[in-house]
Structure 1
């Protein structure tokens, strides 16, 4: 893995988190990071006198570079925050140099310079621009960066709609910058959360902007719900909904089992907040039997959870981290589940049939059973012996 960012006669050592599970060809910054750093250093005057806000800094490259100016840092990703913390430490930068905020905590202070990486999810970008309406002042400068293919006319239109006059740069190494000068008089309301309803039972599902399957029940979760009754007797058990998203699986488990406890875990702050809202809105009496944890898979779970024994883990693993296709998240989920489950505990996984989950589970658990399958998905079961 390339860990050395050398730019403008300066060097940073940067890694992805967790470092030991990353592909050797990956690095913890991209051309958009380099482009925005070069532009700011060469064109923005008086950085030491400006309040800097950084959004969507995937692995902390921007935070480390501009740490001398004590930036305010905002992300929806727990993994991104952990990467940033590791990279600050690697470069001997005090953690206190960066002021951390998650995506569900409001920021009230004015922003004079905003550095924003374009996120993969357009809805998240829209919500962040709406949030910035309350923070910009007439002198605010907004500079965004992303892959050139991500910056469409619709992207520029969002900046125009919510903030003000917007232009873009020429492409450089397949990256592009966006320059926005806020007018300071826009106050559009947010269209989020998105709300839809399940059938039988009819649950109201609320989804903040960055939640996976924000607009409808995703087909993997739908397939899992169809076969929940086949998985195991979950009554009086402790179940982890790992990678919970809006919590729809855990919500149905709570509804079907009177004494079951469910722990909702996701690396997205918006996902966990949505899952909690959905339990409170639909099954408020089950709040005491629920727990909501923002985490990287099941890192240090026993220190973060009030439940000491886990009987069942359910997951629908993602196979992307930021813009990279990867199986390391699934692999960590499987390893963490095995480590945490008590003897006889079970892991249930739903995933696309073309993914190599059966061999991975067999390597870890020594056993794997197909619970259900269709043309696209399989539900697999592995038991801890």
Structure 2
């Protein structure tokens, strides 16, 4: 494990960033600015309620440890990252729970410290939700690296909150100081967006979900192969839609074989919420399982078929590190003679990555941009 030291207003923190390369830090200049501004705002406040929103790997959560912050994150990665980083810092107590959008905290909060997301719709969602939990005199500190701020972010802030100040940039990072606005989620038409499928089904998704407004071209290639794969399964077979997004792949399986026991898992809690809604809308009597997890929960058991369209970016890092982790997890959770069905961008070379974990890898479909593979017979794999 490689780690580095972040200097904070209350002392040094040793932090480790899981995955994505040894040279990457678990924080950036935006975290440093947010911590600095947070402690300035906390001066003179007695027992303030502090909320951290969408911390990346624990820098904000541990940096504000003295305030016993509540923490909410869309990503399940934060939970394990905070646990690992608490263990590296003997003086840090750590939070008792990292909440998510399936079980968000309740206000009011005197200070909200938030990482600005890359996508404008998710930023708009967050700001409207925060409006509902900020105390009357509460302050929102929103920060991010300038190159990662979403397009038209100035307009998104203006439509949702009262911007008090835009602080001078430092180390290519920016912090915006805000007060609560009147905009709320309940009246926002952009909260759910979706599309119809050729089967007559329709899907909806929250803003943090991949391809929520249209069926992506990788899934277009994938769905016919999914339907072929589930057609040959015995009744009651267990199927996992891994990295499920809005659940469209698992829904495709259920449209052919509603007798199957389908589970849905995603690192994004908004994706899990979206998949759950779509299963309830399209298959109201189905007893599907839903998991907010960084991959496959260890207690999920085994599956006859695992379906995967893996993400290839995390926190600005592009590559196959997420896919490799998911391939290893899938190998451990396949039933005897089970199959992993994967689709991915052609340039990522998943045929090579899969052969590190599976001894039987077959291309089952392709177009100029995407390739689908069937992987069977896992080799001995270690823990991820």
- TM-score by length of structure 2 reads 0.91
In structure 2, C-alpha distance between the alignment counterparts of 1:247 and 1:229, rounded to whole Å: 14
Map 1:130-209; keep pairs closer than 5 Å.
Answer: 130-151=128-149, 154-182=152-180, 185-187=182-184, 189-209=187-207
Runs (5+) with no aligned partner, structure 2: 379-384
Matched, 1:110 2:102: no
In structure 2, C-alpha distance between the alignment counterparts of 1:281 and 1:258, rounded to whole Å: 14
**Structure-2 change in CA distance of 1:180 and 1:359 (3 Å):** same
**Structure-2 change in CA distance of 1:225 and 1:101 (3 Å):** same
User: What is aligned with 2:382?
Assistant: none
Q: For residue 161 of structure 1, report the CA deviation from its aligned partner.
A: 1.9
Q: For residue 106 of structure 1, report the CA deviation from its aligned partner.
A: 4.2
Q: For residue 47 of structure 1, report the CA deviation from its aligned partner.
A: 4.8
User: What is aligned with 2:212?
Assistant: 214
Counterpart of 1:354 in 2: which secondary structure?
A: helix
In structure 1, C-alpha distance between the alignment counterparts of 2:128 and 2:140, rounded to whole Å: 13
Q: For residue 80 of structure 1, report the CA deviation from its aligned partner.
A: 1.4
User: What is aligned with 2:93?
Assistant: 94
In structure 2, C-alpha distance between the alignment counterparts of 1:366 and 1:360, rounded to whole Å: 11
In structure 2, C-alpha distance between the alignment counterparts of 1:309 and 1:122, rounded to whole Å: 38
**Structure-2 change in CA distance of 1:186 and 1:212 (3 Å):** closer
In structure 2, C-alpha distance between the alignment counterparts of 1:76 and 1:291, rounded to whole Å: 19
In structure 1, C-alpha distance between the alignment counterparts of 2:149 and 2:376, rounded to whole Å: 46
Matched, 1:342 2:340: no
Q: For residue 28 of structure 1, report the CA deviation from its aligned partner.
A: 0.7
User: What is aligned with 2:12?
Assistant: 11
Map 1:39-50; keep pairs closer than 5 Å.
Answer: 39-42=37-40, 44-50=42-48
Counterpart of 2:360 in 1: which secondary structure?
A: coil
User: What is aligned with 1:262?
Assistant: 262
User: What is aligned with 2:347?
Assistant: 354
Counterpart of 1:119 in 2: which secondary structure?
A: coil
- TM-score by length of structure 1 reads 0.90
**Structure-2 change in CA distance of 1:319 and 1:67 (3 Å):** same
**Structure-2 change in CA distance of 1:197 and 1:161 (3 Å):** closer
In structure 1, C-alpha distance between the alignment counterparts of 2:228 and 2:149, rounded to whole Å: 45
Q: How many residues of Structure 1 are paired with residues of Structure 2 in the alignment?
A: 373
**Structure-2 change in CA distance of 1:99 and 1:317 (3 Å):** closer
Q: For residue 135 of structure 1, report the CA deviation from its aligned partner.
A: 1.8
User: What is aligned with 2:381?
Assistant: none
1:313 paired residue among 306, 310, 316: 306
User: What is aligned with 1:246?
Assistant: 246
2:366 paired residue among 373, 376, 380: 373
**Structure-2 change in CA distance of 1:280 and 1:11 (3 Å):** same
**Structure-2 change in CA distance of 1:58 and 1:261 (3 Å):** same
Counterpart of 1:221 in 2: which secondary structure?
A: helix
1:25 paired residue among 5, 23, 26: 23
Counterpart of 1:24 in 2: which secondary structure?
A: coil
In structure 2, C-alpha distance between the alignment counterparts of 1:118 and 1:339, rounded to whole Å: 36
In structure 2, C-alpha distance between the alignment counterparts of 1:311 and 1:340, rounded to whole Å: 9
User: What is aligned with 2:271?
Assistant: 271
**Structure-2 change in CA distance of 1:22 and 1:354 (3 Å):** closer
Counterpart of 1:130 in 2: which secondary structure?
A: helix
In structure 2, C-alpha distance between the alignment counterparts of 1:153 and 1:324, rounded to whole Å: 19
Q: Is the 8 A contact 1:156 1:166 kept in 2?
A: no
Q: Is the 8 A contact 2:319 2:348 kept in 1?
A: no
Counterpart of 2:348 in 1: which secondary structure?
A: coil
Counterpart of 1:197 in 2: which secondary structure?
A: strand
In structure 2, C-alpha distance between the alignment counterparts of 1:59 and 1:190, rounded to whole Å: 30
Runs (5+) with no aligned partner, structure 1: none
User: What is aligned with 2:79?
Assistant: 81
In structure 2, C-alpha distance between the alignment counterparts of 1:258 and 1:62, rounded to whole Å: 44
Map 1:118-133; keep pairs closer than 5 Å.
Answer: 118-133=116-131
**Structure-2 change in CA distance of 1:112 and 1:264 (3 Å):** same
**Structure-2 change in CA distance of 1:279 and 1:137 (3 Å):** same
2:319 paired residue among 315, 326, 333: 326
